[in-house]
Homo-oligomer: A and B are copies of this chain.
C-alpha cells in the first residue's frame, strides 16, 4: 500500500487500526468518581500509558513499520529521539524482525538508553545539538538504507496516533470534548482527524505547558512559531509543531489551553493517587487544563488521552522516603 503524502482520511485511519490491532494493547478507558467530583465534569481517560512501551507512540511507529514492503523493511528503520518514539520504533521493528537504529544524544539518561537497547535497537550516539543529530541520522541512513520514521511529522505516524481516539469514541460516544497534550502535534492532529470524521459535534482541544506554548502561539500567529528554550517538567512536550501537523491542528482544533507547572504536577499526583495508574508529566497536562480552565468543562463529558507513563521511579517529581 502506498500511503498518500496528504493528511490521512478516516479510511486510512481505520485501515491503520486494522493493521496495528494484532500488535497493540487495546487500552482501557477508565473513569474516576472522585476526579469527576473535584472537577464537576465527567472525565473519560484513554489509558495510553498502558500501551506497549508505555506510550501512544507505539501506534504510529507500528503503523509506519507495517506499511513498508518487504524489500524496504529489510533495510530497517531509523530515527532520532531520546524519548518514547525511540522505544516505540525499536519494538515495532523487533516485532517485524527487521533492524532499527536510533540516534540518541550522548547525554540521554541511562534509563532511556537501556530501554531502547532492551528492545534490540542499535544506538548511535551524537552530540546533543539538532545539527549533529540530523547529520548523524543522515549518515546512518546512507550506510544502511534504513527508512526514516519521524516522531510526528509523518502522515503514517499521524494516522497511527489517530487510532487511540478511534477506540475512545467507540467505547465512549457522545463526548463534548476530546483533549490531548500537544508537543510536536502527532497525537493532537491524529486525534482531530478522527474526531472530526467520527463525531463532528465533539470539540477537540489541545493542552500544553505555559512554558512550552508554541502551539498556542502558532495558532494565534497563523504560522509555526518554533519553541525555543522550553521550560517545563513535561519532557514530552518541549518540541515544536511540524509542517505536517500544524495545518491539521489549525483546521480542526478548537483551542489550545495552557497550564502552569504546579498544575501539571498536581494533576499528575491526583491521577496517581485517585486512579492508581502511573502517568508521566506530559500526560497530566490535559487534566491540569480541566482544573485551570473550569468554566470550559463544567457539566461536560470530556475524553482525555493519557499519553504515556514512562517515569524514572528513582526520581519522581516529589520527594519520597521509606517510612
Contacts and interface: CB of A to CB of B under 8 A. Distances in A.
Interface of A: 25, 28, 30-31, 33, 49-50, 52, 54, 269, 272-273, 275-279, 309-310, 312-323
Contacts of A269: 313
A316 B312 contact: no
A313 B318 contact: yes
Contact of A322 (B272, B279, B317): B317
28 contacts: A25-B31, A28-B28, A28-B30, A30-B50, A49-B276, A50-B276, A50-B277, A269-B313, A272-B278, A272-B313, A273-B313, A276-B278, A276-B279, A276-B309, A277-B277, A278-B278, A313-B316, A313-B320, A314-B318, A314-B319, A314-B321, A315-B321, A315-B322, A316-B320, A316-B322, A318-B322, A319-B322, A320-B320
Nearest to A54: B276
A278 B272 CA distance: 7
A44 to B, nearest CB: 13
Given A52-B33, A276-B54, A312 B323 contact: yes
Contacts of A31: 25
Main secondary structure of the interface of A (DSSP, over half): loop
Contacts of A25: 31
Nearest to A323: B315
Given A315-B321, A320-B320, A50 B275 contact: yes
Contacts of A28: 28, 30
A320 B320 CA distance: 5
Contacts of A278: 272, 276-278
A78 B315 CA distance: 41
Nearest to A31: B25
A192 B276 CA distance: 26
Nearest to A314: B320
Contacts of A50: 30, 275-277
A276 B47 CA distance: 10
A317 B323 CA distance: 7
A38 to B, nearest CB: 11
Contact of A319 (B272, B276, B320): B320
A94 to B, nearest CB: 11
A77 to B, nearest CB: 20
A312 B322 CA distance: 10
Contacts of A310: 276
